Chain A
Amino acid sequence: MSTQTAATTTAPRETPMGELRQPSTGWKHARMYGGLVLIIVWGLAPFYWMVVTAFRDVDYTYDTTPWPTHVTLDNFRTAFSTDRGNHFAQALVNSVIIGILTTAVAMLVGVFTAYALSRLNFPGKYLVLGFILGASMFPGVALVAPLFSLFSTLGWLNGYNYQALIIPDISFALPLTVYTLTAFFSEMPWELEESARIDGCTPGQAFRKIMLPLAAPGLFTTAILAFIASWNEFLLAAQFSTSKTQPVTVAIANFTGSQPHQEPYTAVMAAGTIVTVPLIIMVLFFQRAIVSGLTAGGVKG
C-alpha cells in the first residue's frame, strides 16, 4: 500500500492538475485545507489522547484537558510492574521472538516462490497464485478448533512452546510475503539478470549476486509488513499462548489493575504507547524504503 507514495512524489501529473485548478478561489483553498486538517485530526487525535493519558496521573484518568496535565511516568512503571500478574516486559520479548521467527520463516520460503511466480513460466502458475491469494483471505478462526485439539494432544499449550504461536501465524504471514514480493519482483529490471547470464553467471549466481542486492529494499519492506502483521495478531495468540509465551496484544487485552472490574486505563494507555511508537517509527521508515527502492530499481532509458 505504499507504492503509491512513490507515485505521489513523481512530478509529471502535478503540473497539469495545477493548471486545471487555476481558477481556484480562496474559499476553494480553505475547503481543501479544511479537508487536510480533518484527515490529520482523524489520524492523530485518538493516538494523541492515548499518549497524553499515558503520561497523566492515575487519579486524573478522566481529566478532559486537551493538553498534558499532571504529567508522570508512573503509568509506565505500572505497565512493567509484575505485582498484579501482568508480564508486559516478557510479553514484549515474546512478541519480538514470535514476530522475528514468523517473518524469517515466511521470507525464507516466500522469496523463492515469489521469484518463480514473477519470473518463470510453468504449468499451474495461476493455480498456485489463486491458492496463495485464497490463503490470504482465509479466516483465522477456522484454524482454532482443529489446531487447539492438535496442540493439546502434542502438549504445546503450556510452558515455552513458541511454535504453537509461530506455526498458525505462518498461515497469514506466508501468503502476504509471497504476494508482496511477487509484486516487487515484477517491477525489477530483470534485463540486468539476462546480462549477468550472458556474462557467464548461472541462474542462481545471477539471482544472488545481481538481483538480490537490487531487491533488498523490497525484501526489507516485505519483512516489515510481515513483522507488523504478526506483531498485531490477536485471535490466534489469545487461543494458543500461555502465561509464558503471551505476546503484547494478549497482555494488553488482559491487563489487570488494582481493582477488579475497573480498567487501569492510564497503565494500559502507557503499554499501548510503548507497543505502538516503534511501529509508527518503522512505518515511516519503511515508506521511505519503498519510495527509494522502487525509483532506484527502474532502468532508465
Chain B
Amino acid sequence: MSTIADSTSGPASKAAPPKLRKSLHAGQGRTAALLVLPTLVLLGIVIVFPLIKAVIMSFQKDSGLDPATGQFVSGGSAGLDNYKHWLLQQCGDIKCPPGTLGAQFYDALWVTLFFTVTTVVIEVVLGIWFAMIMNRTFKGRGLVRAAILIPWAIPTAVTAKLWLFILAFEGIANHLLGLVGISPLLWTGDAWPSRFAIIIADVWKTTPFMALLILAGLQIIGADVYEAAKIDGASKWQTFTRITIPMIKVPLMVAVLFRTLDVLRIYDLPAILTNGGGGSGHATTTLSILVINQIRQGFNSASALSTIVFLIIAFTAFLFIKFGGADVVQRPPRGPSGKKKKRRKSQGDALDGDSNIEGSVIGSIGTGR
C-alpha cells in the first residue's frame, strides 16, 4: 500500500531536482501529479494491494482438513500446489476426486467461455440490427430509447429474479411455449435449459447496451457515403459489409471487448437464477461462482483461482487491444490542443460524430454491469 504511494508521489514532492529538464511543463506536471495522485492511491488501496495480497496468499497452504484427501494440512508455503490443484487437477498426491470443487475447474472454465462466446455473438448480431433500426428517422424515437434503456437500468439481481419467475415451470414462458405446442421445460433444473436461461437473461439485459454503442458508431457514417455506394450500384449486402461494418469497427470492437470481459467475470445472473446448478449439479457454475464457493473452504486456494481468473481476463483484454483493433487507450485522451478542437471550431458544432463515439465509449465503461 505504502510502496505504491511512495513510488507515485515522486513527481509531486516539492524538492524534485531531477525534473529540471521538464522546465517547460514543470508547473503543469506538478499540478497534474497532485490531481492524479489521490485516484492512484485509492485505486492502489482497493485494487493493486488486494491483487498483490491475493498473489501472495495463492502461494500459501490453507490450514484445515483437505476436503479431497481428508488429511489435516497446517498452513505454510504451498509453492505452486494451489495452481497445480486447479490447472493440473492435483489434490495432494492424487487426482481431484469428482464432486470436489477442484474437479469443477475445467467445467467452470468451459461453461464460462461458452457463455462468453454465445452471448457476445448473439448480442452483436441483435445489437447491430437494433442499432440500424434506431438509426432511421422516425417519430417516437424517445419512446424506443426509453424502452431499450429499461433492461439496462434494472439491477442484475432483479433481472435474475424476474427471469426466474418468467421461466418458472408454471410461468409465462412455458405457457407461451405451450401455445405453439412445445412441452414445458425445467428451465432452471436441467443442464442445457438452465444454461440457455442464463443466456436468455443476459442477452435481454445487455443487448440494449450493445445497440446503443453501435448506434453511436453508425451515426458517424455520413449519408453521402451511402449515396455514393448507391450510385456505384452497390447491393444492400455490399453496402453493409463494405461500408457499415468497417466504419463501425472501432466502437464495435470496444463494445465487444467490454462485453467479453464482463461475461468472463459473470456472477450475479447464474448465482441467483440457477445458483450455479442445473443438470448433475454444477452446469452453470462459472469461474466467479467457483471462486466464491472455494472461499468457504479456504482463502488461499480461492486466491490462486481468482488470480487465474484475473490472468485470463487480462490476457483476453491484451489480445483484443493488440490484435482486435479495440483502440481504447489511445483515443480518449486527445486533448483540446489536438485536431478535434480545430475541426470543432470549423464546423461550429460540438457534436461532430467522432467525439460522440469517444464520449459514448468512455461513458459506458463499467455501466454494463
Q: Is B156 located at the chain interface by the 8 A CB criterion?
A: yes
Indicate with 1 or 0, residue by residue over B24-44, a CB within 8 angstroms of chain A CB atoms.
010011011111101110110
B158 near A272: Cβ-Cβ < 8 Å: yes
List the A side residues contacting B43 at CB < 8 Å. 131-132, 135, 170-171, 174-175
In the bound complex, what is the Cα–Cα distance between A263 and B160 (angstroms)? 13
The answer to whether B348 touches A116 (Cβ under 8 A) is no
CA distance A189 to B271 in the complex (A): 46
Interface residues of B in 52-97 (CB under 8 A from A): 53-54, 57
Shortest beta-carbon distance, A32 to chain B, in Å?
Answer: 6
User: Do B265 and A49 touch across chains, with their CB atoms under 8 A apart?
Assistant: no
B267 touching A234 by the CB < 8 A rule?
yes
Q: A39-B130, A128-B40, A172-B366 are in contact. Are A183 and B32 (CB under 8 A)?
A: no
B334 contacts A by Cβ under 8 Å:
yes
A187 & B267 in contact (Cβ 8 Å cutoff): no
Shortest CB–CB separation between residue B127 and chain A, in angstroms? 11
Counted as pairs of residues, one from A and one from B, with CB atoms less than 8 Å apart, the total is 395
A216 at the interface (CB under 8 A from B): no
Query: In the docked arrangement, what's the CA distance between A225 and B230, Å?
Result: 41
- A175 near B366 with CB under 8 A, answer yes
Q: Are A1 and B209 in contact (CB under 8 A)?
A: yes
A62 to B178 Cα, complex, angstroms: 14
Q: A32-B138, A142-B310, A145-B291 are in contact. Are A1 and B329 (CB under 8 A)?
A: no
Considering residues B46, B287, B355, B358, which has the most beta carbons from chain A within 10 angstroms of its beta carbon?
B46
Report yes or no: A136 in contact with B366, Cβ–Cβ below 8 A: yes
Q: Which residues of A contact B144 (CB under 8 A)?
A: 36, 39-40
Q: Is B5 an interface residue (CB 8 A)?
A: no
Distance, CA A112 to CA B227, complexed state (A): 45
- Asked if residues B350 and A295 are in contact (CB atoms below 8 Å), the reply is yes
Q: Does A167 contact B (CB under 8 A)?
A: yes
B contact residues around A1 at 8 Å (CB): 209, 212-213, 216, 360, 363-364, 367
In the complex, A294→B130 CA distance in Å? 25
CB nearest to A149 among chain B residues: B299
Question: Contacts A39-B130, A44-B150: A122 and B28 contacting too (C-beta < 8 A)?
Answer: yes
Interface size class of B (residues with CB under 8 A): 35 or more
CA distance A254 to B168 in the complex (A): 17
Residues of chain A from 115 to 143 with CB closer than 8 A to chain B in the complex? 115-126, 128-143
B9, CB-defined interface residue at 8 Å: no
With a 10 A CB-CB cut-off, give which of A145, A182, A252 has the most chain B CB atoms: A145
Q: Could you tell me the distance between the alpha carbons of A19 and B231 in the complex, rounded to whole angstroms?
A: 14
Residues of the A chain whose Cβ atoms lie less than 8 Å from the Cβ of B105: none
Q: B29 touching A179 by the CB < 8 A rule?
A: no
Is B277 in the interface zone, CB < 8 Å from A? Answer: no
Q: Does B164 contact A (CB under 8 A)?
A: yes
Is the Cβ of A46 less than 8 Å from the Cβ of B362? no
Residues of A contacting B40 in the complex (Cβ-Cβ under 8 angstroms):
128, 131
A234 to B51, CA, bound (A): 20
Chain B nearest CB, measured from A8 CB (Å)? 6
Q: Which secondary structure dominates where chain A touches chain B?
A: helix
Q: Which residues of A contact B25 (CB under 8 A)?
A: 121-123
Evaluate contact between A109 and B299: CB separation under 8 angstroms: no
**Which residues does chain B contribute within 8 Å of A115, judged by CB atoms?**
35
What CA separation (Å) do A141 and B186 show in the bound complex? Answer: 30
Q: Is the CB of A2 within 8 A of B363?
A: yes
User: Given that A249-B157, A253-B161 are contacting pairs, would A133 and B329 also be in contact in the complex, using a CB cutoff of 8 Å?
Assistant: yes
A259 at the B interface (CB under 8 A): no
Interface residues of B (CB under 8 A from A): 11, 22, 25, 28-29, 31-36, 38-40, 42-43, 45-47, 49-51, 53-54, 57, 129-130, 133-134, 136-138, 140-141, 143-158, 160-166, 168, 170-172, 175, 204, 207-209, 212-213, 215-216, 219, 222-224, 226-227, 230, 258, 261, 264-265, 267-268, 271-272, 287-288, 291-292, 295, 299-300, 302-303, 306-307, 309-310, 313-314, 317, 328-330, 332-336, 340, 344, 348-351, 353, 355-356, 358-360, 362-367, 369
B-contacting residues of A (Cβ < 8 Å)? 1-8, 10, 13-14, 16-21, 32-33, 35-36, 39-40, 42-44, 46-47, 49-50, 53, 62, 64, 105, 109-110, 112-113, 115-126, 128-150, 167-168, 170-172, 174-176, 178-180, 182-184, 186-187, 189-190, 203, 225, 228-229, 231-235, 238-239, 248-250, 252-253, 255, 263, 265, 268-269, 272, 275-276, 279-280, 282-284, 287, 294-295, 297-301
What are 18 of the A-B contact pairs (CB < 8 Å)?
A1-B363, A13-B222, A17-B223, A36-B144, A42-B204, A42-B207, A43-B146, A119-B335, A128-B36, A136-B366, A139-B265, A140-B265, A144-B292, A145-B302, A186-B334, A229-B367, A239-B292, A252-B158
